[in-house]
Structure 1
Amino acid sequence: MKKYEIAPNSYWVGYVDDRKVPFHRLILEKGTTYNSYFLDTEKPTLIDTVDIEFGRIFVENLDRIMDLSQLAYVVINHVEPDHAGGLPALMNKAKNAKIVTTALGAEELKNMFKLHHREYIIVHDGMKLDIGGKTLQFFETPYLHTEETMVTYCIEDKILYPCDQFSTHIANYDLFNDLAKEDIMEDFNVYYQLIMHPHRPYVQDMIQKMRQLEIQMIAPSHGYILRENVENYIDAYDEMSQEKGNKKAAILFSTMTGNTTKVAKVIAETLEEKSIEVRIVNVDKCDMESILEVVMESDMIFFGSSTRYGDLVGHLENVLKELKNVDLSSKIGVAFGSYGWSGEAIEVIHDYLKELNIKAVDSSYIIKATGMNHIQVPIRIKFKPSEAEEIILNKVVQTLGDLLVG
């Protein structure tokens, strides 16, 4: 491994993995790179490491090009093992280095790599760090693509180090996009769709922050460093993450005391904020033909019921039975409800959805689609939603809406 200069006193020191690489249940046919960057300043700083599989060789190579005992900071934008995997081996040599990351990132690094004894600098949005000759500024970018993620910007160099964002999975020794022997845009778009698109509202948040910076180069965690037509790549993320309209949702429910109605209204209001057209239908006050018509016109259907003596109330179960012979393969189904004790009706609804020809969404589905492990589906509300529960419910429904408009 050599160091390759990307800006004055700033170097690529990563690792090229030109195998067919297993990654997120895929095989990267073109391999990938694990990009790490060394800023040789008065306070020498490393931005991210490499995959855990190559941690030892990474540190051995770093040891040849610098005195690791002089390393002042290690910036960790993202704690997944393909970014932070070289950290344990590195910190064994870099005895004086402080780890720079988000609060959640610090907790995850401590638990993942047993680095409780190291000193951390906890980043907050917009914070700056003087590393002697260069100034780094940090921005929190949660869920791009995990909750602890942040990006780093070097003010003097006008370089954005955006972690997974703006990456491509291509093993290459050319380093820069303008030296690539083929058009990388297709690989760039595929990476976005697989990794970033499930989190597109957060992409939009990130874009708004990045628009305030003067960016002349983007140095991501994988693939090519972008130094030509940089704005085009930012515009591509902006365009691909825009919400698409013309989607419809239906909320079908039965209720006893009106609490499930309140939940249905919160769901509807949240979906409408995302420009999704919503129909709310109390199935106890509507004929089956009309209900089926609403179902067939909708892209996402929420099925809700109160719980009475461990069972559904009203006519919702009849609707679910009727739908067993209907083609719902293009639609998304979600169970919800209000309850006073254990709320069995919500689980019964979800069991029905799993038997129907519909994409039945639950927490497992959300984790596999987005990586978010804090979204609880089916939606369960005890009695009527409190103010705090409405905030949580809003976030859950926003995530479900994102599945639809994507």
Structure 2
Amino acid sequence: MYNYRMVTDDLYWVGADEHRLALFENIHPLYHGVSYNAYVLLDEKTVLFDTADWAVGRQFIANVKAVLNGRPLDYLVINHVEPDHAASIEEILLRWPQVKIITTPKAVTLLNQFGFGLDPNAIEEVAEGDTKCFGKHTVAFVYAPMVHWPEAMVTFDTTNGVLFSADAFGSFRSLDGKLFADEFDFDREWIDDARRYYTNIVGKYGPQVVALLNKAANIVGLDNIKYLCPLHGPVWRKDLGYIIDKYTHWATYEPEEKGVMIVYASMYGNTEAAAEVLAAKLTARGVTNTRLYDVSSTHVSYLISDLFKYSHLVLASVTYNLGIFPPMHNFLMDMKALNLQKRTVAIMGSGSWAPRSGALMKEEIERLKNMTVLDEEMTVTSSLKADNESEIDALADAIAASVKGETK
């Protein structure tokens, strides 16, 4: 049974939801599923924009067949060849062998590396700024290298203002019968999944995302974009400025909010107790936009996501084998891998016989770009005691002053 939806005149969503996958890219938890989006344009020529993961291949193919309703498939535009979008290409070629593929030269190389064995005569390679007319609809191709693979491009329909944005503007979470962002309470239901998707999948490539946004503004014109059709998550047809503003913050590593994220690593609960005391003292100072996380029990993708959201970070870690507690060290390495920057950080180390974690965490943070480490820091020896009161008060004062933009 088919399950497609109309996006706008002549254009249909033919994707499918995936609820069984536990880990996206075998890394990131999917508690609410994910959608794989593809689109069919019915013009004088018929055009399929991207395919879907083979896990949803049966539904995807049923949707394409239903929309075509007996018409041949003339073109397949491939914006991105990552396997979660390219896995059904072979099935398309088997069912519609006459289809012509439109994509970038780099994409052709990668498709051959994946073993598709494409007929060179069936491929039309496009360059930056090329256009293609399918009848009423003319599309323009804009390269989007490293957003987040080197072969990626986006395709803009100049007739109806649809931007097929590949993995840009995508999100975790399944659509569950809906399609458009305005059919959800996006800011309540979806923004955390959208942020977690961007920050962990695309986050390292902020400069490339900025370059794409600038190219879209110059080549396409942001005011001309009426629909954002990503490869995951909902389609945007209203309030496009909302999601573009979010992407601008994330791509430039500017925090969305003034707030404090406290991440602690505790073996027996003593560092956790110190982090709890600090959180309470921040609240007493009027800093209530805070989040407290145990680095050992929180998947790092959620930590990275909130770190893109908040302006301030507190790292509180026990010393382990004369080093940083391993889950905390892994978090720091993910921060580095994803190019996190422009945050203010406070340090709280702890240990019993050689408490070195504070100094080591500070070294790692100072290796990142554009990071500010507060001068006030403290070390908890085994457990927090009454004579630590002045130290933790000083740390809370420094964090609160920084959040509020005050100078000491």
Same fold (TM over 0.5): yes
Q: Identify if the C-alpha distance between structure 1 residues 70 and 403 changes in structure 2 by more than 3 Å, giving closer, same or farther.
A: farther
Deviation at 1:111, TM superposition (A): 2.8
Q: What SS does the corresponding residue of 1:211 show, helix, strand or coil?
A: helix
Which residue number corresponds to residue 307 of structure 1?
none
Inter-partner Cα distance in structure 2 for 1:97 and 1:108? 19
Kindly provide the amino acid, as one letter, of the partner of residue 183 in structure 2.
Answer: L
- Contact 1:139 1:150 (8 Å CA) reproduced: yes
Inter-partner Cα distance in structure 2 for 1:68 and 1:92? 16
Deviation at 1:168, TM superposition (A): 1.2
Matches of residues 276-291 of structure 1 in structure 2 within 5 Å?
none
Unaligned runs of 5+ in 1: 246-324, 331-356, 372-400
Which residue number corresponds to residue 176 of structure 1?
180
Inter-partner Cα distance in structure 2 for 1:126 and 1:202? 17
1:6 maps to 2:7:
yes
Kindly provide the amino acid, as one letter, of the partner of residue 216 in structure 1.
Answer: K
Kindly provide the amino acid, as one letter, of the partner of residue 177 in structure 1.
Answer: A
Inter-partner Cα distance in structure 2 for 1:231 and 1:167? 15
- Contact 1:328 1:358 (8 Å CA) reproduced: no
Deviation at 1:64, TM superposition (A): 3.4
Q: Deviations over 1:331-354 (max 9, x none)?
A: xxxxxxxxxxxxxxxxxxxxxxxx
Matches of residues 195-214 of structure 1 in structure 2 within 5 Å?
195-212=201-218, 213=221, 214=224
Deviation at 1:20, TM superposition (A): 4.5
Which residue number corresponds to residue 164 of structure 1?
167
Deviation at 1:18, TM superposition (A): 2.6
Q: What SS does the corresponding residue of 2:140 show, helix, strand or coil?
A: strand
Which residue number corresponds to residue 141 of structure 1?
144
Which residue number corresponds to residue 243 of structure 2?
233
Kindly provide the amino acid, as one letter, of the partner of residue 236 in structure 1.
Answer: K
- Contact 1:135 1:154 (8 Å CA) reproduced: yes
Q: Which moved more, 1:85-94 or 1:207-216?
A: 207-216
Moved runs in structure 1, 4+ residues, more than 3 A? 325-330, 357-361, 368-371, 401-406
Which residue number corresponds to residue 254 of structure 1?
none
Deviation at 1:125, TM superposition (A): 1.2
TM-score, scaled to structure 2:
0.60
CA RMSD of aligned residues (A): 3.3
Which residue number corresponds to residue 388 of structure 2?
none
- Contact 1:21 1:32 (8 Å CA) reproduced: no
Pick one of 217, 235, 246 that aligns with 2:227: 217
TM-score, scaled to structure 1:
0.60
Matches of residues 338-357 of structure 1 in structure 2 within 5 Å?
none
- Contact 1:98 1:121 (8 Å CA) reproduced: yes
- Contact 2:4 2:63 (8 Å CA) reproduced: no
Q: What SS does the corresponding residue of 1:201 show, helix, strand or coil?
A: helix
Unaligned runs of 5+ in 2: 256-320, 340-365, 372-408
Matches of residues 361-376 of structure 1 in structure 2 within 5 Å?
369=337
Which residue number corresponds to residue 398 of structure 1?
none
Kindly provide the amino acid, as one letter, of the partner of residue 178 in structure 1.
Answer: D
- Contact 1:140 1:150 (8 Å CA) reproduced: yes
Inter-partner Cα distance in structure 1 for 2:157 and 2:70? 22
Inter-partner Cα distance in structure 2 for 1:68 and 1:141? 34
Q: What SS does the corresponding residue of 1:65 show, helix, strand or coil?
A: helix
Paired residues, number: 271
Kindly provide the amino acid, as one letter, of the partner of residue 207 in structure 1.
Answer: L
Inter-partner Cα distance in structure 1 for 2:70 and 2:78? 17
Which residue number corresponds to residue 252 of structure 2?
242
Q: What SS does the corresponding residue of 1:238 show, helix, strand or coil?
A: helix
Inter-partner Cα distance in structure 2 for 1:106 and 1:140? 14
Kindly provide the amino acid, as one letter, of the partner of residue 223 in structure 1.
Answer: G
Q: Identify if the C-alpha distance between structure 1 residues 175 and 221 changes in structure 2 by more than 3 Å, giving closer, same or farther.
A: same
Percent of residue pairs identical = 28
Kindly provide the amino acid, as one letter, of the partner of residue 153 in structure 1.
Answer: F
- Contact 1:140 1:149 (8 Å CA) reproduced: yes
Q: Identify if the C-alpha distance between structure 1 residues 33 and 122 changes in structure 2 by more than 3 Å, giving closer, same or farther.
A: same
Inter-partner Cα distance in structure 2 for 1:35 and 1:20? 16
Inter-partner Cα distance in structure 2 for 1:359 and 1:16? 30
